[in-house]
Structure 1
Amino acid sequence: MAFINVEVTFRIFDSYSLKDKRRTVQSIIQRMKRRHSISLAEIGQQDMLNLGQIGIALVNESPVIANKILERVLNDIEEEYEIEIVEVNLV
């Protein structure tokens, strides 16, 4: 059984207000939850205009598959949104 819990910090390029930022972060969370059946939540940087931070948690029987899912999630986020992932920390 593999349990992965990471904190992802990213820079948002198209954010001109906290409302823009919030819309982007919530879109990432909802879309990735639906697509990959994982848990996500905004965990920090909530008052920073161009920085976001989310927590991602997933469980799978195989550590290899769990890591592949995490990698796919991070790739999807960077490809679909105007953001740059600056830090990924295992918790």
Structure 2
Amino acid sequence: LTFIESEAEKMVIAGYQLTFIIFDSYSLKDKRSVVKSILKRMHNKYNISIAEVGEQDTLNQGMIGIGIVGNDRVFCQKVFDQVLNDIEENYEIEIHDIQRI
């Protein structure tokens, strides 16, 4: 987590990188369909910054970056936890690495 503070206000910027395996992905088209769905749904539902940041040419592996801005570290962590739960419940993937930046 990164903290940027001024005298009057406090801003918290939280960054995460998720690496995951996509089940039933046999082509780049299958993979991109799943990744694009995750990106669009999470951005629209939680108003977060989210993008594919690596593993673009791997058939069954994905890597996304998530950025959350708020005024409280607890708030940012709660939003991330909700995003993570939503992804795990709605997509046939297995998250195998989470890095906090």
* Normalised TM-score (structure 1): 0.97
Aligned to 1:5: 15
Equivalent residue for 2:45, pick from 32, 35, 43: 35
1:23 corresponds in structure 2 to: 33
The letter of the residue matching 1:87 is D
TM-score (norm 2): 0.88
Aligned-residue sequence identity (percent) comes to: 52
| Partner Cα separation in structure 2 for residue 46 and residue 74 of structure 1 | 20
Please report how far the alpha carbon of residue 2 of structure 1 lies from its aligned counterpart in structure 2 after TM superposition.
Answer: 1.4
* Aligned pairs, number: 91
The CA deviation string for residues 51-81 of structure 1, in whole angstroms up to 9 with x for no partner, is: 0000000101111011000011011001000
1:49 aligns with 2:59: yes
In the TM superposition, residue 12 of structure 1 has moved relative to its aligned partner by 0.2
5+ residue gaps, structure 2: 1-10
Paired letter, 1:21: K
Query: Post-superposition, which runs of at least 4 consecutive aligned residues in structure 1 deviate over 2 A?
Result: none
Q: Deviations over 1:14-36 (max 9, x none)?
A: 21100000000000000000000
Q: Does residue 68 in structure 1 map to residue 60 in structure 2?
A: no
Tell whether 2:84 aligns with 1:58. Answer: no
Question: What 5-or-longer segments of structure 1 have no aligned partner?
Answer: none
User: Which one has more relative contact order, counting CA pairs under 8 Å at least 6 apart?
Assistant: 1
Whichever residue aligns with residue 50 of structure 1, its letter is N
Q: How far, CA to CA, are the matches of 1:72 and 1:2 in structure 2?
A: 18
Bigger radius of gyration: 2
